[in-house]
Amino acid sequence: MRCRTCPRLARHWDWFLRYRGIRLHWTVPACSPVCLELWKGRRMIDPNPIELAAMRQAGARAGDYIDSLGRTDMAGWSEPEWTAFIAAICGGYVDALIYQQLAANEAAGKVTGVPF
């Protein structure tokens, strides 16, 4: 199994430390304490309102894609259909973040008079 942060082999650092509460056990494969710490920082533990809005848009795009397929049984999807589904989700999320950034830039430009 590979580390979630880098391509090295995972060794499950901190996997079963007894002094930690059960909720704090890290189940992510990691090669080292450094990579484990990096992974912890990369996770979206507490999404902010902008990220939540982006998730809603990604969900809407996923729903639109499923509607366009006309088949809700994901077990029967082909690999290209799965790829397109994931692309719809990722694209919806990223697009939402970009649109929100553009709107924030425009609003900041109105206040400061400096175009961003």
Cα–Cα distance measured from residue 31 to residue 62, given in angstroms and rounded to the nearest whole number: 34
Please give the torsion angle defined by the CA atoms of residues 94, 95, 100 and 103, in that order, rounded to the nearest 10 degrees. Answer: 140
**CB closer to Zn ion out of 11 and 53:** 11
CB of 10 to Zn ion, least distance (A): 7
**CB closer to Zn ion out of 40 and 71:** 40
CB of 24 to Zn ion, least distance (A): 20
CB of 31 to Zn ion, least distance (A): 3
Whether 88 contacts 53, CB under 8 Å: no
| Closest alpha carbon to 97 in 43, 48, 63 | 48
User: How deeply is 35 buried, as exposed, middle or buried, from its count of CB atoms within 10 A (0-12, 13-18, 19+)?
Assistant: buried
**CB closer to Zn ion out of 38 and 97:** 38
**Which parts of this chain interact with Zn ion (CB under 5 A)?**
3, 5-6, 8, 31, 35
CB of 84 to Zn ion, least distance (A): 31
**CB closer to Zn ion out of 2 and 56:** 2
